[in-house]
Structure 1
Amino acid sequence: MSSAALPSLRDTIARHGLDARKSLGQHFLLDEALCRRIATLAGELDGRQVLEVGPGPGGLTRALLASPAEAVTAVELDRRAVAALAELEAAYPGRLRVIEADALTIDPASLLPAPRKIIANLPYNVATPLLVGWLRGAAALEGMALMFQQEVAERICAAPDTEAYGRLAVLAQWRCRCTLLLRLPPGAFSPPPKVWSAVVGFVPHPEDPGEALFRAMERLTAAAFGQRRKMLRGALKSLGDAEGLLAAAGIEGQRRAETLDIAEFDRLARVLLARQAS
C-alpha cells in the first residue's frame, strides 16, 4: 500500500473499533494540518530518529513519516491501535517500527540510535511519569516536543514565585530549556477532553548531572514541595540536618520552596549528594 492509498484516520478508527478509551488517557488528534504543525515543533528532523508514544490511529505518525525524519518508532499499548498502525508500516517500509509495549518501560537511548527526538501527544494518565523518566536520560536526547494538558504544560514552564511553580518545573527546567509552543482547544481532539492542551518544547542543557545527582534532586524537590507552605528549614527535615544543608548552600531557612530559582535548587542538590556520599 502506498502512502497515497492510505484510508482516512476516521475510516481507520471505524474499521479497527478504535474508540478512545478513558482508561488509557486517549484523545485522538485527527486534524492533519495540526499534526503537520506539531511535527515541526521539535525543530530539524532531517536524519533524526523519532520516538512517538501513544500514536493511536496514527495522525501524528503520518505527519512524522511525511517529514525528513530518518525513521519513526511508535510505542503503543493498545492492541487495536497496533493493528491499525500496521497499514502505515506497510506504506512506509523501513521507516516505521511499531512496538506494542508500555512506554514507561522503554529507554529511548537503547531503543533508537542517535540523534534522537521524542515527539508525542502523550496519554494524559501517564504524561508526568513519562516526562520525569525522559528528563533523567535527557543527555541522550536532542530534543522533545510533547503535548500535555495545558495545566501540566504551564506547571512545567512556570517561573519561581508563581502558583504553578513546583517540583515538575524545577526538574524540567534544571535539565532542559522549556518553551510552551502551542495551545490547542478541546475541539481539536476526538473525543474532546474537558480541558485545553498544550505542546511544550524541551532542549536538553549540555551538562549531564548524572544519575546520582538526579536522584538527589528528586528527593530534594519532593521534600521541598511536599510541604510547600512550610519554611525550608521545616520542609527539608526529612533529609537530615536541614539547617546545615541550607547553610552550606547559602540559602536562608525561612524561605519557602517556591521562592528558589533553578540555580539555588542545583546548589542544594549538590550539597545533599555530597553529604550522602560522605
Structure 2
Amino acid sequence: MADLPPLREVIKTHGLSASKALGQNFLFDEQLLGRIAAIPGDLEDKAVLEIGPGPGGLTRALLRAGARVTAIERDSRCIPALAELQAAFPDRLRVVEDDALAIDHGKLMGEPFAVVANLPYNIGTLLFTRWLAESAWPPRWTSLTLMFQQEVARRIVAAEGSGEYGRLAVLAQWRSRARLAMKVHRSAFTPPPKVMSAIVHVEPDDAPEGVTIRTLERLTEAAFGQRRKMLRQSLRGLEGGLKALETVGVDPTRRAETLSVDEFVALARALDNPEIQSAC
C-alpha cells in the first residue's frame, strides 16, 4: 500500500486551486473517498475510467481498492500531481490529458470497465446521457458510479408522479437500474459548492425488445418539453405520437410525469412499429 502525503499537502505543493470554469470541487476526506470507491463492489484488477480526477483524491482511493485506473484530465495543472500517483502505483494508472467529451471511451479502454467519477458539474449530465444512449447494449461499461448535484441525482432515480420525474429518469431507468448510493454534504468539498451533492450508481439491465434509444429520446423530449400540457398536445408535433397513444391505450389527457417508464417504452415501441409509421 503506497504511503502518500495528505491531499491538502499535495494541493499546496503543486499550487492547485479549484477552477470554477472547469466545474472543479476537491474532496480531501480519504475515508469518504474510500467509501465512494467501494460502491461499485470489488475492483481488484478491474478496469476503471475516471473523469476529472483533479489532484487525484478519488484516484488514489480507486488504486488502493486494486483497480487499474484510466483517468481523463483536461487541466494541465493537475498532471504533475497525478504523475506522482503513477510513480506510487506502477502500471496501475494511465493519465490521458484531454477533453472527456471528445474521446470514445470504449475504444480508449479496450475492455469492459466501470466508471467512477466526481464529475465536473458543468459536463456531468452531458456525459451521463451519452453513456445511457449507447446504441450497443449491453454497453462496454459495467456500472456508473457518479457524483452529481443532489437535484440532478434525484431526477435520475425519480419515480413517476414525483416532482423530479422527467426525461432523465426515463433514460436512466428503461434499460438500467439506478439508485441513490450516497449523499455528500457541501462542506466536504473545497471550495464548498452552493448545493448538496449525491452519488448515483447505475448498472445496465436487459433492454426491452423493439425499442430504439433514438425513438425514446425523441419521445421523452417531446413529452417533457411541454410537461404541463396534456399528451395530446405535447405529442402532436411528434410524427405518429397521437397514433401511438391510441395504440398503447394511454389516455391522451394525461401528462408526461404520470406515465411509468414501462408506458414510455410501450409508446416508443409503437412509434417504431412499421404499421404506425406507414399510417402517418
- Class of the TM-score when normalised by the shorter of the 2 chains: over 0.9
Question: Structure 1 length normalisation: TM-score?
Answer: 0.93
RMSD after superposition: 1.8
Q: How much identity, in percent, do the aligned residues show? A: 53
Partner deviation per Cα, 1:9-57 (whole Å, 9 max, x = no partner)? 1122123222101111111111000000000001221231000011111
Residues 24, 120 of structure 2: 8 Å contact kept = yes
Aligned to 1:256: 255
Aligned to 1:267: 266
Alignment of 1:169-188 (within 5 A): 169-188=169-188
**Distance of aligned partners of 1:148 and 1:232 in 2 relative to their CA distance in 1, 3 Å threshold:** same
Give the counterpart of 1:94 among 79, 87, 91: 91
Alignment of 1:8-157 (within 5 A): 8-69=6-67, 71-137=68-134, 139-157=139-157
Aligned to 1:189: 189
Distance in 2, Cα, partners of 1:271 & 1:242: 9
Counterpart code for 1:255: R
Q: Which runs of 5+ in 1 are unaligned?
A: none
Alignment of 1:184-223 (within 5 A): 184-207=184-207, 213-223=212-222
Question: Structure 2 length normalisation: TM-score?
Answer: 0.92
Distance in 1, Cα, partners of 2:66 & 2:21: 34
Higher helix share: 1
**Distance of aligned partners of 1:44 and 1:206 in 2 relative to their CA distance in 1, 3 Å threshold:** farther
Distance in 1, Cα, partners of 2:9 & 2:174: 43
Counterpart code for 2:52: G
**Distance of aligned partners of 1:258 and 1:192 in 2 relative to their CA distance in 1, 3 Å threshold:** same
Counterpart code for 1:162: S
Distance in 2, Cα, partners of 1:51 & 1:167: 26
Superposed displacement of residue 7, structure 1: 3.0
Count of residue pairs brought into register by the alignment: 274
Q: Which runs of 5+ in 2 are unaligned?
A: none
